[in-house]
Amino acid sequence: MFDAAALEANLAELVGSLDPTGLDPADATVLLDGLARIERLAATGVALVSTQVDSTGMWRGTGARDPLGYVAQRTGGSRARARDGLAVGQALASMPRLDAAMRAGALTIGQAADIATAVIVHPDREAELVALASHASPRKLTARCVEICAEGQGADEQHRRASAERTCVSQVGRDGVWRLSSSLPVIDGAELDAILDRFQDQIFRAARAEGRTEPFDAYRADALLAMARASVGADTGLSSPVPSGIRHTIVVTVPHTALLGDTDDGVGTEESGTIPGVGPVPVSTVARLLTEGDPVVKAVVTRGREITACATLTRSMKDDLRLAVLLRHSFECAVPDCDSQRFVELDHERPFAQGGPTSYENLRPLCFFHHDQRTHHGYELHGRPGTYRWLAPDGSVLAADRPPVAA
C-alpha cells in the first residue's frame, strides 16, 4: 500500500512555511501551477477511492446515510462534489483517455464530470472532449458537452423533459441570504436572459459612469430586482428606466442540414439549433415560434460560419451584419482565451474615424473589458478569425489563437 504520509508531510511543510508576500511573479506562477495540479491529482484519487467506498458498502455502520454522505463527511466537501467524484471514478474504468488525463492531473473533477456525462451517451466523442478540455474554458467545455448530450437524446426530448420539470424556488438560507433557483427549457431561459441583459446593461453603464466597479453577477442581481419592479410599474431605481415594451431578441442558429428535409415529414425534428452561449433547442420549436410570428425569436440558418438565411419579423441590414460578424466569431469576444459572450461590442479593426468601413471584414466582436483596453489603453488585436493575436501596448503577445482540435 502506498504511504501517503511522507507526501502529506512534504506538502504540509511547504504550505506551513509559505510566505506569499515574499514571492516574485515567476515563483508565484510556478507554485500556482504546481499546487493546482496537486489538487487535481488528489481529487482524482478521492474519486477512485469513492468507487471502492460505494462497491464494498464500507460506509454502512459509520453513521453516514449512503456512500456519498460518507465521502462528503470524510473530505469535508459537499454531497454534490462527492456525487461528481463518484460518477467520474466509475466512468474512468471505461474511458481510457479520460482516465489517462485524470491520472496525469490534467483535469478537474468538474471538467471530467462534464465529459463523462457526454461520453456515456456518445462513446466516440471521448478523444475530442478530452482534447478540448486541455485548452477551452470550463464554460465552453460544458456547452460542448451539453450539445453532444442533446445529439444523443434528441433536442425535442430534452425540451419536453425540461418543460415538464421546470421549477422556481426561493428560500432564505441559514446565513440569512435569500436565494433563487430556477430551471426552464433553454428557449425560455434564453428569453429571460435576453430581457435581464437589457436591465443589466443599463445598471452596468450607470455604475461605470459613477466610477463604481462591482462584479457582473452583482449587477445581474440588481437587474433581476429592477426587472421585477418594472413589471408592476414600480420605480426601478434606474436613472434612465428601461422603456416598457422592451425590444429583445433571441438568436437561434440552425445548421442548414437541419432544414434540408431529409426526413419524410420535412424538417428533421431530431436535429437541434443552438442559442449561442445558452444551449441547444429543438428545430421544431424554432419552426413553430417563427410560424406563429413570435417577435422575439430570430433564426439564423448557417452553413459552417456563413449565414444562408435569416428569418425574423424585424430585420435590418445592420442587424444582419452584426449577426454575421458574431457568428463568424462563435458569438464570443475575438480576443484569444476570452470567451465572454455577454455585452460584446463590434470593434472596427481600422478605426471608423480613419475611414475604416462598417463591413464584415473590418468588424470583430470585443467584450466590454477588451474593447475598453483596445480603445483607450493601447492594446491591439491583430490577425483574422482563427489566427488572432492580442498585443499589449509594448507589442508583447498576451494571447494567441490555437489551431482547432481535430475531432
Which range binds Zn ion by CB under 5 A, 42-50, 91-99, 273-281, 368-376?
368-376
Q: Which stretch binds Zn ion (CB under 5 A): 65-73, 113-121, 270-278, 370-378?
A: 370-378
Residues 56-85 that bind Zn ion (CB under 5 A): none
| CA dist list (Å): 206 to 20, 224, 306, 328, 346 | 37, 16, 36, 31, 21
Q: Looking at 117-125, 197-205, 329-337, 376-384, which segment touches Zn ion (CB under 5 A)? A: 329-337
Regarding 381 and contact with Zn ion (CB under 5 A), the answer is no
Tell the smallest beta-carbon distance from residue 328 to Zn ion (Å): 16
Assess 335 for contact with Zn ion (CB under 5 A). yes
- What's the CA gap between 95 and 115, in Å, rounded? 10
Phi first, then psi: give them for residue 148, nearest 5 degrees.
-65, -40
Q: By CB under 5 A, name the one of 158, 312, 340, 373 that touches Zn ion.
A: 340
User: Measured from the CB atom, is 64 or 338 closer to Zn ion?
Assistant: 338
* Paired residues of 170 in beta bridges: 180
DSSP readout, 136-163?
S-HHHHHHHHHHHHHHHH-HHHHHHHHH
Query: 283 or 335, CB closer to Zn ion?
Result: 335
Among left, alpha and beta (phi > 0; psi -120 to 50; other), residue 309 is beta
Q: Is 338 in the site for Zn ion (CB under 5 A)?
A: yes
Tell me: does residue 132 bind Zn ion (CB under 5 A). Answer: no
Among 367, 373, 381, 388, binds Zn ion (CB under 5 A): 367
User: Applying CB under 5 A, which part among 31-39, 288-296, 363-371, 398-406 lies near Zn ion?
Assistant: 363-371
C-alpha distances in Å from residue 17, one per residue of 5, 22, 352: 18, 11, 55
Spatial neighbors of 233 by CB under 8 A, at least 6 apart, are none
Q: Residue 31 or residue 338: which is nearer to Zn ion going by CB? A: 338
Q: Virtual CA dihedral for 179, 184, 186, 189, nearest 10 degrees?
A: -50
Rounded to whole angstroms, the Cα distance separating 266 from 373 reads 48
Report how far apart, in Å, the C-alpha atoms of 153 and of each of 150, 227, 260, 264 are. 5, 34, 21, 20
Piece in contact with Zn ion (CB under 5 A), picked from 73-81, 170-178, 336-344, 393-401: 336-344
Least Cβ distance, residue 136 to Zn ion (angstroms): 15
CB 369, min distance to Zn ion, A: 6
Q: Counting contacts by CB under 5 A, is residue 202 touching Zn ion? A: no
**CB 85, min distance to Zn ion, A:** 33
Binding part of the chain for Zn ion, among 87-95, 151-159, 285-293, 359-367 by CB under 5 A, reads: 359-367
Name the residue nearer to Zn ion (CB basis): 126 or 347. Answer: 347
The nearer residue to Zn ion, 119 or 334, going by C-beta atoms, is 334
Q: What does the alpha-carbon distance between residue 323 and residue 312 come to, in Å, rounded to a whole number?
A: 12
Shortest Å distance, C-beta 383 to Zn ion: 15
Helix (H) or strand (E) holding 68: helix 67-75
CA quadruple 89, 108, 149, 127: dihedral sign: negative
Q: Does 341 contact Zn ion by CB under 5 A?
A: no
How many alpha carbons lie under 13 Å from residue 406 in its C-beta half-sphere?
0
Q: Could you say whether residue 364 binds Zn ion (CB under 5 A)?
A: no
Whole-number minimum distance, CB 344 to Zn ion, in Å?
Answer: 8
The number of beta carbons lying within 10 Å of the beta carbon of residue 52 is 11
Does the protein bind Zn ion through residue 346 (CB under 5 A)? no
Q: What are the CA-CA distances from residue 403 to residues 58, 135, 330 (Å)? A: 47, 11, 15
Q: How far is the CB of 46 from Zn ion (least distance, A)?
A: 35
Select from 48, 250, 278, 333 the one that contacts Zn ion (CB under 5 A): 333
**How far lies 122's CA from each of 46, 148, 272, 281, in Å?**
26, 7, 16, 19
- Residue of the chain from 339, 370, 373, 390 that contacts Zn ion (CB under 5 A): 370
Nearer to Zn ion, 364 or 370 (CB): 370
Phi, psi of 114 (to 5 degrees): -60, -50
Closer to Zn ion by Cβ: residue 327 or 367: 367
Residue 104, SS3 per DSSP: coil
Please tell me the count of residues contacting Zn ion according to CB under 5 A. Answer: 6
By CB under 5 A, name the binding residues for Zn ion.
333, 335, 338, 340, 367, 370
